[in-house]
């Protein structure tokens, strides 16, 4: 992987910088007229986004590990080519994309003043124990007043491949117990709280509130979700494409205390809304074919 010095020479745009940071990982920092952002090459992991002169939209844990071979807690982890535990318990949960080091292929300002960053991952970049088939993977970020993210995958093998994935986005909120999530009313969901009986075939009624551990997979939905946050006086709008499944997650009290890379009280300041291909939306990608999953995140400030 290229050093920050090599990347600065290769991508000299004044609004983009490269540094070595936490975990000795290489980070891309973006500061343009619209927003600021930070992306770790470890996992192609967005760790910060904030519209100019506004508070951060993306949440990061103060307890996160920054270690090679381990995921970063918070931000936007990329889950690929499987979501959740693997069939083989020796393989990493949520796939290998979020624990691999990616390569920068583009970092530039666009004519409208936004900034494009594109990263790629290939089988030669991945622990050979983890990569189940030949593939090409590209992650693109457009940093502007809104944040756009797109993961594009290509099956380079000679057979169909079963793939589940997610843009596992963590959002910063003033108080998770006071927010409301709208956009999923009347959508069927599966309740996946670990340690409790799995319940399928439930139907959302009204807005989602966080008053307990929440781990729900909403099915057959392409709807935008809005996080209405009275404490921060804003609404975060999450639009998506290439996905018909949305996950909403908050670990609540007991699970927060069990996770070593998550603060005991941090559940109060975050909520996950994830664009996924999972369960009956799992992909069956033919040889040579490509699929993209994308999110657009924008902020509406209360007046």
Instruction: Show which residues are catalytic.
Output: 168, 274
- Choose among 300, 70, 295: nearest CA to 167: 295
Task: Tell me the average pLDDT of the chain.
Answer: 96
- DSSP of the chain, one letter per residue? ---HHHHHHHS--TTEEEEE-GGG-EEEEEE-SSEEEEEETBTTEEEEEEETTS--SB-B-TT----TTSPPSBSB-EEBS-SSS-SSTTSPTTBSGGGSB-EEEEEEE-TTS-EEEEEEE-GGGS-TTT--S-EEEEEEEEESSSEEEEEEEEE-SSS-EEE-EEE--EEE-S-GGG-EEES-TT-EEEE--TTS--EEEEE--SSB--SS-EEEEE-S----EEEEETTTTEEEEEEEES-SEEEEEE-HHHHHHH-TTS-TTGGGGEEEEEEEE-GGG-EEEPTT-EEEEEEEEEEEE--
* pLDDT tens per residue, range 196-252: 778 899 999 999 999 999 999 999 999 999 999 999 999 999 999 999 999 999 999
Q: Report whether 103 contacts 120 (CB < 8 A).
A: yes
Please give the Cα distance from 118 to 139 (Å, whole number). 6
Q: What is the pLDDT of residue 252?
A: 98
Q: What is the mean pLDDT of residues 138-148?
A: 98
Please give the pLDDT value at position 221. 98
Short-list 233, 196, 184, 192, CA closest to 214: 192
Full-model pTM:
0.97
Mean of pLDDT values over 132-136: 94
The pLDDT tens digits of the residues spanning 154-209 come to: 999 999 999 999 999 999 999 999 999 999 999 999 999 977 778 899 999 999 99
Q: Which residues of 60-86 are buried (b: 16+ CB within 10 A; e: fewer)?
A: bbeebebeeebbbbbbbbbbbbbbbeb
Domain 4-301 classification at class level:
mainly beta
Cα distance between the two ends of the chain? 46
Residue 56 has pLDDT above 80, yes or no: yes
Contact 198, 190 (CB under 8 A): yes
In which band, very low, low, confident or very high, does the pLDDT at 128 lie, cut at 50, 70 and 90? confident
Say if residues 284 and 160 touch (Cβ distance below 8 Å): yes
Q: What is the mean pLDDT of residues 143-151?
A: 98
Is 90 exceeded by the pLDDT of residue 87?
no
């Amino acid at each position: 992987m290229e050093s920050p010095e090599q990347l600065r020479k290769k991508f000299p745009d004044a609004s983009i910088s490269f540094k070595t940071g936490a975990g000795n990982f290489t980070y891309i920092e973006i500061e343009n007229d619209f927003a600021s952002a930070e992306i770790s090459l470890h996992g192609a992991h967005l760790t910060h986004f904030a519209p100019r002169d506004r508070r951060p939209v993306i949440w990061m844990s103060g307890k996160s590990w920054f270690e090679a071979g381990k995921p970063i807690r918070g931000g936007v982890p990329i889950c690929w080519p499987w979501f959740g535990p693997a069939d083989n318990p020796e393989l990493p949960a949520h796939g290998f994309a979020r624990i691999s080091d990616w390569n920068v292929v583009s970092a530039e300002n666009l004519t409208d003043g936004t900034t494009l960053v594109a990263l790629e991952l290939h089988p030669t970049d991945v622990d050979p124990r983890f990569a189940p088939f030949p593939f090409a993977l590209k992650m693109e970020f457009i940093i502007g007043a809104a944040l756009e993210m797109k993961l594009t995958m290509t099956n380079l093998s000679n057979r169909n491949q079963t793939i589940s994935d997610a843009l596992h986005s963590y959002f910063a909120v003033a108080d998770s117990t006071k927010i409301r999530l709208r956009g999923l009313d009347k959508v069927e969901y599966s309740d996946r709280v670990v340690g409790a009986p799995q319940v399928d075939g439930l139907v959302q009624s009204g807005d989602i509130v966080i008053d307990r551990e929440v781990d729900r997979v909403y099915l057959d939905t392409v709807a935008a979700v809005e996080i209405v946050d009275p404490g921060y006086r804003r609404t975060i709008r999450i639009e998506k494409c290439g996905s018909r499944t949305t996950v909403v997650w908050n670990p609540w009290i007991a699970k927060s205390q069990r996770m070593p890379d998550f603060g005991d009280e941090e559940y109060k300041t975050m909520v996950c809304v994830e664009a996924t291909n999972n369960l009956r939306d799992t992909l069956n990608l033919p040889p040579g074919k490509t699929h993209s999953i994308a999110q657009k995140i924008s902020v509406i400030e209360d007046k």
